[in-house]
Every structure is written in C-alpha cells, then in structure tokens.
Structure 1
Amino acid sequence: MFTKEMVHTALQTWCDNVVKVGKVHTEGGDVQAFSLQVLSDSYDYDNGHVLFKPTLTFGQQTFRPTKEGALSYFVGGNSDYPNDNGFKLKPWVKVWYSKEDFILNGELAIVQCNVHFIGDDDSHIFVNKSFVFKQCDDGKVRIILHQSSLPYQP
C-alpha cells in the first residue's frame, strides 16, 4: 500500500535527480548513462507504459511514451528530437516541490504539486506537475504518469 511517506520520498528523489543530472554534466561525467539509469530507476519504461508530457514540448513530439524520447528531453543530443536542448543540463542547483496534494489508491499515488528550479545563474522557474507513482513488483516506486506545464499567465 502506498503511504504519505512514500509520496514525499518519491517527490524528493525526483527533485534530487534533476540536480544530480546537471552536476554529472557540469563535472564532465557520462550524463547520458546516468540519465538512462535515472529513467530505469524512477520511470516504468523498462517494465510497463509511461505517459510523459514534459514542460517545453509541442507538436508531434509533445508526449514522450518512450525511454528514448524522455532521455532526449532530459539531455538533448538526439537528432530525432531536434527541439530538445536537454532541460536537465542547465544545471539546476536546487530543486524542490511545494503545495503537494495526493490521492493514495492501493499501489498508486496520484500527485499534484509545484516544482521550483534554481539555476546556477540564479534563474528561478516553477512548473505545475502531476505524477502517478506506482509501487512496482520489485518494490521500487516508479513514475507511470508525469505531466508538466508552466503556470497559466492570464
């Protein structure tokens, strides 16, 4: 059964991984290999189906149902996704969530929150997020739905 503590751990892990990807990139590490590991550990692409709508995607490539598409959004460099610049490479030096609310339903947690990003250049953005986390057969918690959008600006 999914618990409140599991929700907070999953959200914090997601935030921490954004910072870690940027750090690996800044330090000259293998950001692609690291990001693939994050995708395997935190998203259910390897074992199931993932619904992923990144913040800054549009047109034919709005949704990223494949691990390849998600990786391209994270780190760029894929000619099949020419508009991807690698969102996680900025680097982001601090990432946190706020105003979270959730519904727990058996092996699932349905979550909405804001996520704040601070760049190494002191830039600050925040986005609205929806996640569905699933407690998988191997005991790990993975994302099966990730939707992200910029807040509405009337």
Structure 2
Amino acid sequence: MFTDDMVHKALQTWCDNVVAVGQVHAEGGDVQAFATQVLTDNYDYDRGQVLFKPTLTYGAQTFRPTKEGALSYFVGGNNEFPDDKGFKLKPWVKVWYNKLDYILHGDLAIVQCNVHFIGGDDSHIFVNKSFVFKQCSDGKVRIILHQSSLPYQP
C-alpha cells in the first residue's frame, strides 16, 4: 500500500534527480549514463509502460512513451528528437514542490503539485505537474505517468 511518506519521498527524489543530472553535466561527468540510470531507477520504462508529457514538447514529439524519448528530453543530443536541448542540463541548483494534492489508491499515488526550479543563473520557473507513482513488484517506487505544463497565462 502506498503511504503519505512514500509520496513525499518519491517527489523529493524526483526533485533531487533534476539537480543531480545538471551537476553531473556541469562537472563533465557521463550525463547520458547518469540520466539513463535515473530513468531506470525512477520510471517504469523497463518493466511496463510510462505516459510522459514533458513541459516543452510539441507536435509529433509531444509525448514520450519510450525511455529513449525521455532521455532525449532530459539531456538532448539525440538526432531523432532535434528540438530537445536537454532540460535537466541547465543546471538547476534547487528544485522543490509545493501545493501538493494526491490520492492514494492501493499500490498507486496519483499526485498533482507545482514544481519550482532555480537555475544557476538565478532564474526561477515553476510548472504544474501530475504524476502517478507505482509501488512495483520489486518494492521500488516508479513513475508510470508524468505530465508537465506551464501555468496558464490569460
């Protein structure tokens, strides 16, 4: 059964991983390998299906149902996804969530929140997020749905 603590841990892990990917890139590390491991550990691409709609995608590549597509959005460098610049490479130095609301349903947590990103250049953006986290058969919590959008600007 999914618990309140598991929701907070899953969201905090997601936020920490955004910062970690950018840090690996800034330090000249193997960002492709690191981001691939983040996807393996935290998204259910290897065992099941993931519905992923990144913030800054459009057209034929709006949705990223494959690990390859998600990796491209995170770190760029894939000719199959020419518009991807690597969102997680900024680097982001602080990422946190607030305005959290969620429903626990058996081995799932259905979550909505805002996520704030502070860049190394002191820029600040926030996005609206929806996640579905699943407690998988190996005991790990992984994302099976990740939807992200910019707040509505009338």
Give, as a single letter, the amino acid of the residue that structure 2 aligns with 1:25: H
Q: What is the DSSP-based 3-state SS (H/G/I as helix, E as strand, rest coil) of the residue aligned with 1:35?
A: helix
How many pairs were matched up?
A: 154
Please name the residue that 1:51 is paired with.
51
Per-residue CA deviations over 1:33-92 (Å, capped at 9, x if unaligned) read 000000000000000000000000000000000000000000000000000000000000
Please name the residue that 1:24 is paired with.
24
Matches within 5 A, 1:32-71: 32-71=32-71
> Is it true that 1:150 corresponds to 2:133 in the alignment?
no
Q: What is the DSSP-based 3-state SS (H/G/I as helix, E as strand, rest coil) of the residue aligned with 2:151?
A: coil
TM-score where L is the length of structure 1: 1.00
1:105 Cα deviation from its structure 2 partner: 0.2
Distance 2:136 2:25 in 1: 29
Distance 2:27 2:85 in 1: 18
Please name the residue that 1:99 is paired with.
99
Give, as a single letter, the amino acid of the residue that structure 2 aligns with 1:82: P
1:107 Cα deviation from its structure 2 partner: 0.2
Distance 1:56 1:136 in 2: 29
Unaligned stretches of 5+ in structure 2? none
Distance 1:13 1:72 in 2: 20
Q: What is the DSSP-based 3-state SS (H/G/I as helix, E as strand, rest coil) of the residue aligned with 1:68?
A: helix
Please name the residue that 1:74 is paired with.
74
Give, as a single letter, the amino acid of the residue that structure 2 aligns with 1:117: F
Please name the residue that 1:132 is paired with.
132
Distance 2:82 2:22 in 1: 20
Please name the residue that 2:4 is paired with.
4
TM-score where L is the length of structure 2: 1.00
Give percent identity, aligned residues only: 83
The runs of at least 4 consecutive aligned structure 1 residues that moved more than 4 Å come to none
Distance 2:100 2:48 in 1: 26
Please name the residue that 1:87 is paired with.
87
1:19 Cα deviation from its structure 2 partner: 0.1
Distance 1:39 1:120 in 2: 23
Distance 1:139 1:40 in 2: 14
